[in-house]
Amino acid sequence: MSSLAVPIGAVIVTLAVIIVIGEMLLALADVAKAQESLDRWELWFALGLALLVILGIAFVASRPREALATLNKEVVIGSRPFFDPPPPPVDVRARTGPLGASSDIGEGYTLFAQNGALATVLGTLPGGTDYGKRFAGFLYAKGLHGASDELWIPIEAVIAVYPETQCAFLSIKGDETEHFGWDKPPETIRRGPNRIQEPI
């Protein structure tokens, strides 16, 4: 919360100044006078205020550097230094430790596609036939970042498993789950009729 105090305070002060100046100009405005009239007090007030701000900035800029020690202090917002190199992508940090097998995948594992985290594993299902194809098993998962709430991903789609970080990587880009039909349960656990495979 302390790191947000400076920007929030600056926003509040700026809004207060804008509102006060606006109310003062509205109070001085005389709508009965023509726009080209030179005796419009709100215009002279705004001009004087602008000149006052410019003179104040010029005075501060002309001061010796030692006299501006308070203004020259660095204000840091956030915990990571600005010029630090960016951290590696999540999928790179997830590839830590020895490789595992598909059988290591369990509840809590994060599934990654080429474009990032895709889903979190909720459980595993035994193999079966789906859409005319035989699969060794399915990963029942909850989609992340806009993916389907429920996914049934074949074990065959897994290309790498890292038990140390509880991460597994899939051989898809990430936006193909509906195209492959992974957003629908396999035929072995579906109550309705099996899907009809259309001829190519």
Q: 36 — alpha (psi -120 to 50), left (phi > 0) or beta?
A: alpha
Report strand pairing: 133-143 vs 151-154. Answer: antiparallel
pLDDT digits (tens, 9 = 90+) for 67-99: 666 666 666 555 666 676 765 566 677 788 888
Q: How far is CA 158 from the centre of its chain?
A: 27
Name which of 112, 125, 93 is nearest 172 in CA terms: 112
d(CA 137, CA 128): 7
Q: Would you say the pTM of this structure is higher than 0.75?
A: no
pLDDT digits (tens, 9 = 90+) for 98-141: 888 888 898 999 999 887 888 899 998 888 777 677 888 889 99
Q: 78 — alpha (psi -120 to 50), left (phi > 0) or beta?
A: left
